[in-house]
Structures are given as C-alpha cells and as structure tokens.
Structure 1
Amino acid sequence: MQEREGKAEGNQISRGYLAKWKNADYRARLVHTTWLFLSFISMGFIAGQRGPTFLDLQLITNTDVEEASLFFTFAAVGGLLGALVIGASYDRFNKPRLIFLANIGMGVCVGVVPQCRQYPLMIFIWFITGFCMRGLETSGTADVVRVWKSESRPYMFIVHLGFSIGALISPMVTEPFLVPKHLVEKQNSDIKSEDTAITCNITNNASLTSNNSCINNQTDLFQSPPYVVKLQYAFIISAILAVLTSLPFLIKSFMDKSNLAKGGNSRKAAEQRNVPLLYYVISIVLIMCMYICNTGIEDAFSAFLMTFAVKQMEWSKKDGALVTSAFWASLITARIFVIFVADLISPAKLLLFAMCFVIIALIGLWTSALYLAHTGIWVFVCVAGSAISILFPTGISLTDKELIPVNGKVSSFILVAGAIGLLSNPVILGFFIKEFSALWFCYLLLSEAIMSVVLLFLILIYGRKILKSVRKRTVVEIEIDSEHGAQDTLMDDLKNGTVEGLGVV
C-alpha cells in the first residue's frame, strides 16, 4: 500500500514538472533567468579581478597604495549612484534594454581600464564601471522578482550564485597576465640601491659627474622596467564576457512580451500590500539598515580575511590566499545547496539561522586567533562563508514577504545600502587594524552581525504586527470607498433616469 502511495506521489510530481515544461511562459521565464545568471557571472568576474590586479594598476598609473585605493572608492561611489539611477528608471523603461545598457556599459568600461595611464582618467573609468555594475545588479535583482513573483526565492539564489562563480574563477584566469612579484621587488630594490648611491655621493661631496651618472642610471631604470604589463588581456576577457552576456537582452528588448511576468505565479490581490507613505519609508529604512550590516560583513570578510591571516596569525600570503579561496568555495557550495531548500524554509527562519552561524563563526575565529589554533581558522572561515552566502538573496525574499513588494525602487534602495556598507566598512576596519590589532576584524564584524539580528527581529515585529493591521485598515477603507462610489453612481443614475429595466423616464 505504501509503495503504491509513493509511486502515485512520484507520478504526480513528475506530471507537475512535465506540465511546467509544457507551459511556454514557464520556459520563457526560465530562459530569461538563465541570461541573468550568465550576466551575473560576468559581473562577478569583473568584481573578482579588482583585488588581484590592484598592484598592476598601480604600475600602470605610477601610484602608491593610498592613491590607488581611490580607484575602488570611486567605483563604490559610482555604484551607489548607479543603484539610485537604474532603480528609479527600472519601472519606467524597457527592462531588458535597461539591463543590456548596464551590462554592455560595464563591459566597454572595463575593457579600456588598462589603457587609462593618467590617474584622473583611471578614477573616472572605475566610477563609470561601478555605476554600470551596481545598475546591473539592481535591475537584475528586481527582474527576478518581477518574473517569478512569489516563486522567486530559489531563482534569486541561482542568479546570485552566478556572481559568486564569476568572482571565484576570475583570479585564476587573471593570474597568468599579472606581473610577477619578484620582478617588481627587483625593480624596487634597484631603485633603492640607486637612491642610496646618490645619497652617499652627495654626502661624501663626490664629483658632479658621478652624481649625474647615478641620476642617469636611475632614469634609465624607470624607462626600462624589467617586466612587461600584460593586464590588458585579462580585462579584454572580462569585456568580451560582459558584451556577449548583454546581447540576449538587446534582442529581447525588441521582442519582449508583456506576458512574461504573468501566469500561475502572479500575485493575488491580498499580496499587493499597498501601505501609506510613512509606513513605506519606515520599511525602507529598516531593510536598508540591515543591508548596510549584511553587505558590510560579506565584503569586509572577503577583503580583509587575508590581512587578518597574515597579520594576526602570521601566515604567508600564499596561505592567506588559500584560506580566502576556501571562503569563496564554501560560499558557492552553500548557495547551491540552499537553492533546493529555499522554498521549504521561510525567509525569516533561514536568515536567522544564517546570522546565528555568522556570529558563531566570528566568535570561533576570535578564539582561534587568541590561541593560535590554525585549524580553527580554516573551519570557522568555511562556516562563515556558508552562512554569509544566504544573507543577500534571503534578505530580498524577506523584504518581499514581510514588508513591501520588491520592485526597481526597493531594489535600488537595497543596493544603495549595500554601497554604504562597502564604503564605510573598509575605512573603519582599516583604521582599527592599523591603530590597534587585526583582531578588530572579528570585533567589528561580530558587532554588525549582532546588530543585524536585532534588526531582523524589529523587521518581523514591524511587518507582522504594525504593517499587517495597517494593511487591513487600508483594504477596509478601499472597500468602503468602492461601495460608497457604487451607491453614489446608482443614485445618480436613478436621478437622471438612466437605469435600464426600471421604466424610469
């Protein structure tokens, strides 16, 4: 009997999937999501290049670390502006065309990065690149919700998995085109030795001819470095990838069907959740505060993990790079796994589960660093990567379910909050690590994780207690207004003698 029931359930599931595949709208949505997934791979690929190419960008522009760090600062500022502009434009313009413009703009800009040898020009091109990248992320995130509506949770994880995959493979593809570290160190040591020779000659009142000879040698050294910068090939690969993934959206923009977002997954009337402006603003502020914390944790963890390992644990840079790769590998693995369980667990429970494990991982890293437990670092980095992978996509689903529907504007506010986290965390963390110790890597991120849990509970209380009652009042008022409007119309018709079948003249 049980075997028959099991077979019946299996046949029902298979027939359900078969029915979905026969649905043309479902196939169209699936293909559309696939193109978004590929676009996010190209975006992650470009984002993953910034760290490994940092030293080579310094060589191209002849800048130091402090000056070159402005490239990424301006990219973050451009990203903040891009999220606002593209988010505000998303609901007003052709959506595939908007995604195409952001995608191809990202590809063209990153393709010319190695040609920008002037410092102001390099800052400007990174600003535009950041604008397009955040614009693509904003429009792509909103598009997943637009297309799948209440079924968007697993597909949100799939699309953002593309970003993680791109960020993981990018350093491996870029590494062969980087200038070897020993050649750069050789040039720097030669420059220092020349400077020492000049200083010694001046100190010992050597002849003018000898000084001129040293200066000429130093000039020749700058003109003929012992390496060739081949960074343009790595960025050409990024540009080609971005341009290719943008083309389907260009084609789609001319043949986009208005029924793409319609179908069996469309929202019911009760799910529209229109709320007064004040409550809408409070919802936006709450979700932005949570995303400032969550995005700051994700970005700072990946950016400063190597610094933490080298400074606090006294590891080599190779070991620091390996543990960073372990972080990304665990993040991708967990994101793939969550795709299959996202519909089984509510966004609130999933997010709370993830934040608890982030807190556990950071406490574990702090303890391991205090007692120099190297194995513990590896274990808790993997735990942190797995938990952090859940934060961004699940936050979108939480917003859509508990607070307000996610559209282009809401998506842009979320990405703006993420940009604020990207801008503030490196500055704060860099200061505390420099002035105190690398343990502030754990302290700051732990405090943000705890704050994120507090904000999660505030969001749930606000959404389930306050917004729910506000929506009920709003629905009742709309129904009463509709009834009064219908009655007024009927009375007007009776007075004017226009009601059919009543014999009124």
Structure 2
Amino acid sequence: MWSLQAVFLLFVVYMIRLGMGYYLSISGPTLLYLSNLVGVQVKQFSTAFSGRFAGCLFGGLLVGFVYHRTKGKINPLYFSAFFLLLKGVTNFFVPWMTNYALMFVMMTAGGITFGYLDVGLQALVLRLWGATASRPLIYIYHFSIGIGGFIAPIIAEPFLVEAYGEHESNSGGCPVYNNTDNATANVTLTANTTFNPVGWTFILIGIFFFVFAAIVAVMARVNFDEKVSTGLETVGVAVETRKEEPLRDVIWIFLPLIGYFFCHVSNEILFGSFIYSVSVCSDLNFTVSEATVINSLYWIGFFLGRGSGIFAASFTKPRYIATFSICGTCTMMIVMIIFGQSTKWVSWLVSCAHGFFVGPLYPSGVTWVSKVTNVSGKYMILFIIGGMTGCIVILPIGGLLFQTSPFSVMYLAAALSCTNAVFFSLAVFAARRHKSKHSLEKSESEEKESLQHIKPNKV
C-alpha cells in the first residue's frame, strides 16, 4: 500500500502535466491572436513554434546534463521548481509582447522549460517506481496532458468571443485572404480595450505554474522524493535491473523509432495547433464558438484515447495498441481530406476520433520499446529527439501551407499518419530480428555450457 506522500507526489506531477497540456493546447485557439499581436502572418509566426520545440529538445537534453553535473548533491526537485517558475514567467509576459523577435525568444524559453519538465518528471516517476510498477503511472502521466489540452479551448472561448465578437462567418478576417505582410488586419477586434482579453488565457496559466513552483520548492526543501522512495522500498517496489544494450545492437530499432515519434508528435501538435484556424479560415467557415468546440473535441478524443490506453495496457500488448491507433489515425485523416471540408459533421467526427486514436501512440511507443530493451536511462532521450525534431520541421511547413490554403494542413497531417505506419512497421521488424538474434545467441550459449558439462563425464 502506497503512502499518502507517494500519492501526493503523483498528484503534483500530474497537475503540472495538466498545466503543460494547457500550455500546448492554448496555442491553437490563440494562433491568430498571437500573430496579430506581433504583427506577422501565420506562416512567419509558425517559425516561433519551431523555436519553442527546439527549446523543448534542448530542455530535454539539459536533464541529463544537470543530473550528471550535480550527481545527487542538489535535489532535482529544486531544478523542477526553477523551471516551473520560469515557465510561469514566460506565459505571464506573452500578452505584452508586440515584437516578433521578443515573442520568439519568449516561446523558445517556454519550450526549454517544457522539455526539462517533460523528461525530468517522467524520469522521476521511473526512478521511484521502476520499469514495471511505473507502467500505468506513465500512461496516466501522458493522459494528464490531454485533460489540460481539453480545458484550454473552453477557458479561451469567452475571452475570444469578447475580443473578436461572435460572427456567423469569420473567413473575411483570415490572413490567407489578405496579401499584406502586416497581419494586423487578420481579425477585427470588437473590444475597445487597451489590453486584449485573450491575454488572460496566458496570465491564468502563468499563475498556475507560479503556485506549483512554490509547492515543488517546498517539497525539495524537505527531501520529499527521498521520503517517498523510502516508503516505496518498504512495500517492495522493484526498479529496472536490465543493463542498457550497446547502441550498435539496438540502433536499427531506434532509427525507425525516432521516425515514429517524429511523425506522431508532429502530427499531434500540428492538428491541435491548426484545427481552430483551419475550421475558421477554410471553406468550413466556422464561427469563433464552433471553432473552439472543434478544438475541444480533438482534446476530448485525445484524453479519452490516452485514458483507454491505461486499461488496454493491462490486457493487451503495446504493439497491438499502437497498431490499432495508427490504423485509426490513417483512416480518419483520409476521411477528413476527402469529405472534411465539404461536410461539417465529418470534420466534427474526425477531430474527436483522430484525437482518440492519436492519444495512445506516445505511451504505447515508450512501453513497447521498453519491453524490447531497457530505455530508462540514456536512451530515454530518443523519444524527445524524434518528437521535438518533428515539431521543429513540420510546424513551419504547416504554417506555409496554411497561408497558401488553410485546409491543406490536413493533407500534411494525413501524410504524417500514413508515414508513421511505415516507421512503426520497420521498428517492429527490426525488433523481431533483434529478438531472434538474442534467442539464437542464448541457445548457442546454453548448448556450449551443456557440452562443457558433458565433456568431463566422457573422460
């Protein structure tokens, strides 16, 4: 039986993860607002997303560096508290940014904090609960981000309506229909205020991170994680015992696996970031309220899919969950590009269903490869390398496509879904060869050992 301290630590971790989901999701419904704020078009502003995810990649790499340099002399929770505080600051100042360069720097800094917290908190759970006991906890960890993604558009809706008004058709204000380099005419504001109400969506999440920065700092001060570790040891929670294999033995599994996370994460973020703007600016011609609802539907499906993965993992293999999810995403995106722009109810359905099928892919990929080989140490960085590189590359392409034709972003999402199927197939094939090779080596070793026992008896 776990102690209340262990439960509270998980609660704090999951709440922080929820806030990180809000942080990612809020960029979708506020995309036009942000580009308008700094006076650039969407295709240029999407490069700021690349800066954010480059920061995420750097932040993830920073975890290993910090742990190596401190070598346990400084409680890792202090670093988590610092990055939570920095994350609060970056969100708090976003509504006041009117210069694109400053916005780029601010979003990159926010990405660094996200990457550090993403890898650092996940590593904390793996370290305390081990590879086996942490499996459902990691699913819940990734499930929490979906809850944050779901509530972000809901919180943003009243602020968006207050700022832009509720129009039956908002397409006339979309950047694709004006050729000026200055995007200040993207959307016509109806609120005659100096401070745009949409800015509150960022201030609220900034305050949220300030509060949890203080909580984690107190936990670090009292060595809360060590107390939890001691309590878990008394109830027999086992840690990972397998040694990490040499890179030369697993490289052909890891290469397609990086491609898998490249396609999956970039697809997840691309769809969540652009579905609001696509539904408003394409022939779908959604109103502000309708667009926030379809954005929320995506995240509803996402956290339902990720939540179902928690239960599915207890009775089926991660490989089957990932295969089912990939088939679902491919099917939904094909339906979207054929019927989505001409039929509103199809776009509603696909947004929710696509989120549902995308949801289990990340934790399924992690748990699948962890069965093949130990990835709880230095190899954990593979996941963030693949995912963040995908976002760095794909989001600017999405912004360029959006500027040309808003709905074409969906074609890119469909291509990523289908390519992901190819990468996962290659990873499974490489894993089978890896398993066969190890089984053969084990058989030869056992045979050699048995012959050594038989030979002396013949003498």
Q: Same fold (TM over 0.5)?
A: yes
Of residues 425, 434, 439, the one that matches 1:457 is: 425
For these two proteins, the number of residue pairs brought into alignment is 413
* Equivalent residue number for residue 217 of structure 2: 250
| 1:338-487 equivalence runs, <5 A | 338-369=309-340, 372-407=342-377, 409-432=378-401, 440-466=408-434, 469-470=437-438
- Against the structure 1 CA distance between its residues 64 and 383, is the aligned structure 2 distance closer, same or farther, given a 3 Å change threshold? closer
> What root-mean-square deviation, in Å, do the aligned CA atoms of Structure 1 and Structure 2 show?
3.4
Larger relative contact order (Cα-Cα within 8 Å, sequence gap ≥ 6):
2
Matches within 5 A, 1:213-224: none
After superposition, the Cα gap between the structure-2 partners of 1:151 and 1:344, relative to the gap in structure 1 and judged at 3 Å, is farther
Moved more, 388-397 or 231-240: 231-240
Q: Please report how far the alpha carbon of residue 125 of structure 1 lies from its aligned counterpart in structure 2 after TM superposition.
A: 1.8
Structure-2 change in CA distance of 1:87 and 1:143 (3 Å): same
Aligned residue in 2 for 1:493: none
Q: Is the 8 A contact 1:86 1:412 kept in 2?
A: no
Once the two structures are aligned, what percentage of the paired residues are identical?
A: 20
Distance 1:57 1:441 in 2: 19
Aligned to 2:21: 44
SS of the residue corresponding to residue 97 of structure 1 reads helix
Larger of the two Rg values belongs to structure: 1
Alpha-carbon spacing, 1:66–1:366, altered in 2? closer, same or farther (3 Å): closer
Distance 1:132 1:242 in 2: 11
CA separation in 1, counterparts of 2:423 and 2:269? 19
- Corresponding residue SS for 1:264: coil
Deviation (angstroms), 1:313: 4.3
Inter-CA distance 164–232: structure 2 relative to 1 (3 Å threshold): same
Task: Report if aligned partners of 2:56, 2:388 keep a CA contact under 8 Å in 1.
Answer: yes
Question: Does 2:139 correspond to 1:151?
Answer: no
Structure 2: tracts of 5 or more residues without a match: 167-171, 174-190, 449-459
Q: In structure 2, do the counterparts of structure 1 residues 49 and 417 end up closer, same or farther at CA, with 3 Å as the change threshold? A: same
CA distance in 2, matches of 1:376, 1:60: 32
Q: What is aligned with 1:180? A: 163
Within the candidate set 174, 189, 206, 1:239 is matched to 206
Q: Report the equivalent of 1:131.
A: 112
Over 3 Å counting, the alpha-carbon distance change for 1:362 and 1:71 in structure 2 is closer
Deviation digits for residues 297-342 of structure 1 (CA, Å, limit 9, x no counterpart): 1112222334544555433233333222211112222323332332
Residue type matched to 1:359 in 2?
A: C
The Cα shift of 1:456 comes to 2.0
Between the aligned partners of 2:340 and 2:156, the Cα distance in structure 1 is 31
Letter of the 1:239 counterpart: G
Cα deviation code 1:322-371 (max 9, x no counterpart): 2222111122223233323322221111111111111121122233247x
Task: Name the structure 1 match of 2:78.
Answer: 97
d(CA) in 1 for partners of 2:392 and 2:59? 14
Q: Does 1:332 align with 2:307?
A: no
**The residue matched to 2:134 in structure 1 has which SS?**
helix
Given the two structures, how large is their TM-score scaled by the length of structure 1?
Answer: 0.72
Work out whether residues 153 and 397 of structure 1, in 8 Å CA contact, stay in contact via their aligned partners in 2. Answer: yes
Alpha-carbon displacement from aligned partner over 1:428-453 (angstroms, at most 9, x marks no partner): 33444555x56644443333223322
Residue 375 (structure 1) shift: 2.8
Q: Distance in 1 between matches of 2:277 and 2:103?
A: 26
- Is residue 433–residue 439 contact of structure 1 (8 Å, CA) maintained in 2? yes
* Cα distance change on mapping 1:476 and 1:251 into 2, 3 Å: farther
Corresponding residue SS for 1:345: coil
Q: 1:261 to 1:356 in 2, by over 3 A?
A: farther
2:145 aligns with: 163
Q: Distance in 2 between matches of 1:475 and 1:102?
A: 49
Aligned with 2:238 (options 248, 266, 276): 266
Residue in 2 aligned with 1:75?
A: 52
Give distance in 2, aligned partners of 1:60 and 1:363: 35
Partner of 1:12: none
1:227 aligned residue (183, 190, 193):
193
Q: Given that residues 402 and 464 in structure 1 are in contact (C-alpha distance below 8 angstroms), is that contact kept between their aligned partners in structure 2?
A: no
Q: What is the CA deviation profile of residues 66-125 of structure 1, one whole-angstrom value per residue up to 9, with x for unaligned ones?
A: 554443332222222112222443464533233222222211222233344444333222
Q: CA deviation at 1:43?
A: 1.5
Compared CA separation, residues 88 and 284, structure 1 to 2 (3 A): farther
1: CA distance, partners of 2:425 / 2:79: 35
- Indicate if the aligned counterparts of 2:63 and 2:119 stay in contact, CA closer than 8 A: yes
Query: Could you say if the C-alpha distance between residues 391 and 253 of structure 1 is closer, same or farther in structure 2, counting changes exceeding 3 Å?
Result: same
User: Once the 2 structures are TM-superposed, how far is the Cα of residue 386 of structure 1 from its aligned partner?
Assistant: 0.8
TM-score by length of 2: 0.78
Aligned with 1:315: secondary structure? coil
| Residue identity matched to 1:387 | F
- Do the aligned partners of 2:46 and 2:396 also contact (CA within 8 Å) in 1? no
For 2:211, give the aligned amino acid. Answer: L
**Given that residues 61 and 116 in structure 1 are in contact (C-alpha distance below 8 angstroms), is that contact kept between their aligned partners in structure 2?**
yes
d(CA) in 2 for partners of 1:420, 1:68: 18
Which one is further off, 449-458 or 302-311?
A: 302-311
